[in-house]
Structure 1
Amino acid sequence: MTYPFKSIFRQIPALALLLLLSCTNGDKTMVAPKPPVINPPVAGTTFTNPLLSSGPDPWVYHKDGYYYYMHTTNTNLRIWKTAKMSELGTKSSVLAWAPPQTGPASGNLWAPELYFLDGKWYLYYSAGPAGSDLGRQRTWVLENASADPTTGTWISKGQVVSPEADYWAIDGTVLEQNDKRYFIWSGHNGVDAIQRLYISEMSNPWTLIGPRVELSHPEYNWETVGPPYVNEGPEILKHGDKTFLVYSASFCGTDQYALGMLTANSTADPLALSSWTKSAKPVFTQNPANRAYATGHNSFFRSKDGQEDWILYHANSNANEGCVEKRNPRMQKFTWKADGTPDFGVPVAISTPILKPSGE
């Protein structure tokens, strides 16, 4: 609204106007407060999303002062090593594994995840026969005894398979709870093509000992945009006395691809379906105004000084770009609600300066 200041001032007597502009309180003059000064971020303290021009299914693992980053390349497995996640785009990748030209794990390499377990590195990935037939995808694991996963030799430990059923299985991740280790993945039940989340106990980093328990399947409207109907990309996040299983829902080729969440007590039996509570609403979803579509398949990391929690995820920068290499990796800090659950907020707009993770 615009005010007619000149006409107002004509109606104010000179003395009143003087008092209005400069009031005294004893020997101190009261002056109207100045607006707060907002200093722009200092150069070198910010970064912008996306981190890379392409990078579906981004994953990061922090060890000994370095972040090891991976994403789906389809043809091989590559690792980026960086001391600062905000500088990921300036680093080159190292080839960790090139698959054989033929065989059951020769093509369509997806969703790699890297872990340091029992004194060695393990790299889990999804793959199937080379070609366009994706119905034979399974989960596989490699082992490396080197202290640095970008060096040394990777040895195949074979397929990570449930003793109960060898069905379509992708997006494997690891949960450690109650001094036990569990594998969680997205798979089929042998009856339909709906992607469900399963969990099984592990006897070592490459062996499942069962039983195979279904934890979640698409049931809400925001989980059933497709077909296919999908729960996939399970990731573990721990905070306080809670364990969260954050997953991706709806078909990755739709703009509605989003994150859902299961919650359990940190000491509960993760094989018991009753231990988990499923969120009825997505916890992170698209934001067209910020050019973030199909937001999903995430991972988590802590800032270099251990004071901040960050989510790393992929998104498309435009509508209807599908489930291909146009998906790019992005990261942003998140906070925690009073009830101890994560508050991921909304996707930050691309090309917007964001303060680097603390400690960088």
Structure 2
Amino acid sequence: MKGTDWLRIAALPLLLAGCGDGPGTIEPPPTAQCTFANPVVAGADPWVVRDGGSYHMVQSRDGGIWVTKSTTLTGVAGNGVRVWTPPATGWNSTNVWAPELHRIGDRWYIYYAAGSAGPPYIHQRSGVLESVGSDPQGTYVDRGMLYTGDDPAQAGESKWAIDVSVATINGQLYAAWSGWEQNAATDRTPQHLYIARMSNPYTISGARVRISSPVEPWERGTELDLQEGPEFLQRNGQTFIIYSTRESWLPDYRLGQLRLTGADPMSAASWTKSGPVFVSGEGVVGVGHAGFTKSPDGTEDWIVYHAKTSTSPGWDRVIRMQKFTWNADGSPNFGLPEPSGRQIARPSGECPAS
């Protein structure tokens, strides 16, 4: 992922001097226009986390994992610090994809996918890095591959897995990811969503459970049926998983939703599917792989996602962000994508009070 953060912020207006027969009066300067425009930077699979007074974005690029830091959400897409380089050989030596950064206790954890070879991308597995201290831009140790097979007690083969995300539900830590039912010789293999309990941030301790498959008409692709990028979104005691579906390299990539409506997150029957909840529009295509955060003052909810740069097949993508609201039933309302180049208000708390 390459690019530079070009936030389009309007220039400061000039002071206007009064004129006439009497003494000139100086009008107070109007407040600078506090806006930005999408896209904010080239890249894909964005993940932004707000911690204290800072925002951190984690990305895979240039063969490693990078973490940026900013006091503003719109300024988070910078060069950052390279926090991890994959080994020269081994299961995670190449194809580092879609890292996520989570603070759990007093440590930071980066969940990522990688493989030993590819294309074809048939070797992808998921791993976790743990920070040595409390600095998300500091040193990390590799905690190894997460077990994403059918039952860790049997010590069987780990299954193809990408896009691990974690969340605590009723005091229990869970991992969710996109995976295959069985390992295969082709990467044109359907992808499903799985969940499992964790005994600590780097250990999956129970059997995986498939909680969703791409079976709805709005999920079925033209080349491949898939679900990926599951992201937990929690508010007012409700838990959602917002995921990407249809092919990421085509313009109909979109978001679907699972809502936890039952008591047990490990039961597929506890999750209610709806969608699509975010689709192409306003000239923006291939929207997906989203993360969620708050404005600096904590009053607004924002979605950070990627979109394609054209309708042609491929993975040339850019990162975008916009405010979202909530429906009466407590579910998120993402609206339509903000058009490219349109000036929109920056997140609340980023600009000086007028």
> Same fold by TM (over 0.5)?
yes
User: Which of these residues, 29, 41, 57, is aligned with residue 45 of structure 2?
Assistant: 57
Aligned position for 2:99:
112
Query: Quick check: 221-230 or 269-278, which moved more?
Result: 221-230
Q: Which runs of 5+ in 1 are unaligned?
A: 1-40
Say which one has the larger Rg. Answer: 1
- String of CA shifts for 1:280-331, please: whole Å, max 9, x gaps: x3000111xx331110000000111110001000001321152x2x211100
Following TM superposition, the consecutive aligned residue runs of length 4 or more in structure 1 with deviations greater than 3 angstroms are 41-44
- String of CA shifts for 1:242-290, please: whole Å, max 9, x gaps: 111000001111111000000014x8321122211011x3000111xx3
- Whether 1:316 and 2:302 are equivalent positions in the alignment is no
Distance (Å, rounded) in 1 between the aligned partners of 2:183 and 2:214: 15
- The verdict on how the C-alpha distance between 1:191 and 1:127 changes in structure 2, with shifts beyond 3 A counting, is closer
- String of CA shifts for 1:211-236, please: whole Å, max 9, x gaps: 21101010112211142211000001
- Whether 1:124 and 2:111 are equivalent positions in the alignment is yes
Aligned position for 1:158:
144
Aligned position for 1:294:
286
- The verdict on how the C-alpha distance between 1:92 and 1:73 changes in structure 2, with shifts beyond 3 A counting, is closer
Distance (Å, rounded) in 1 between the aligned partners of 2:60 and 2:213: 24
For 1:248, give the aligned amino acid.
Answer: S
For 1:45, give the aligned amino acid.
Answer: C
- String of CA shifts for 1:194-224, please: whole Å, max 9, x gaps: 1000000000111111121101010112211
- The verdict on how the C-alpha distance between 1:126 and 1:328 changes in structure 2, with shifts beyond 3 A counting, is same
Distance (Å, rounded) in 1 between the aligned partners of 2:127 and 2:31: 45
Alignment of 1:194-343 (within 5 A): 194-265=190-261, 268-279=263-274, 281-287=275-281, 290-322=282-314, 324=315, 326-343=316-333
Contact 1:49 1:331 survives alignment (8 Å): yes
- String of CA shifts for 1:120-179, please: whole Å, max 9, x gaps: 11111000014423101000111112222112x211000011352511100000021110
Q: Which runs of 5+ in 2 are unaligned?
A: 1-29, 152-156
- The verdict on how the C-alpha distance between 1:42 and 1:295 changes in structure 2, with shifts beyond 3 A counting, is farther
Contact 1:215 1:273 survives alignment (8 Å): yes
- String of CA shifts for 1:69-106, please: whole Å, max 9, x gaps: 023427210111111011234x3211011111221101
- Whether 1:149 and 2:149 are equivalent positions in the alignment is no
Distance (Å, rounded) in 2 between the aligned partners of 1:334 and 1:359: 16
- Whether 1:175 and 2:167 are equivalent positions in the alignment is yes
Contact 2:66 2:84 survives alignment (8 Å): yes
| Structure 1 residue 51, shift from structure 2 partner | 1.0
For 2:38, give the aligned amino acid.
Answer: N
Aligned position for 2:176:
184
Contact 1:175 1:236 survives alignment (8 Å): yes
Contact 2:122 2:183 survives alignment (8 Å): no
Contact 2:219 2:225 survives alignment (8 Å): yes
For 1:58, give the aligned amino acid.
Answer: P
For 2:34, give the aligned amino acid.
Answer: T
Distance (Å, rounded) in 2 between the aligned partners of 1:274 and 1:298: 24
Contact 1:252 1:294 survives alignment (8 Å): yes
What is the TM-score with the length of structure 2 in the denominator?
0.84
| Structure 1 residue 44, shift from structure 2 partner | 4.4
For 1:133, give the aligned amino acid.
Answer: P
User: More helix by proportion, 1 or 2?
Assistant: 1
- The verdict on how the C-alpha distance between 1:321 and 1:351 changes in structure 2, with shifts beyond 3 A counting, is farther
For 1:254, give the aligned amino acid.
Answer: L
Query: Quick check: 334-343 or 188-197, which moved more?
Result: 188-197
| Structure 1 residue 241, shift from structure 2 partner | 3.0
Contact 1:102 1:130 survives alignment (8 Å): no
Distance (Å, rounded) in 1 between the aligned partners of 2:218 and 2:272: 17
Query: Quick check: 185-194 or 312-321, which moved more?
Result: 185-194
| Structure 1 residue 357, shift from structure 2 partner | 0.6
Distance (Å, rounded) in 2 between the aligned partners of 1:229 and 1:83: 39
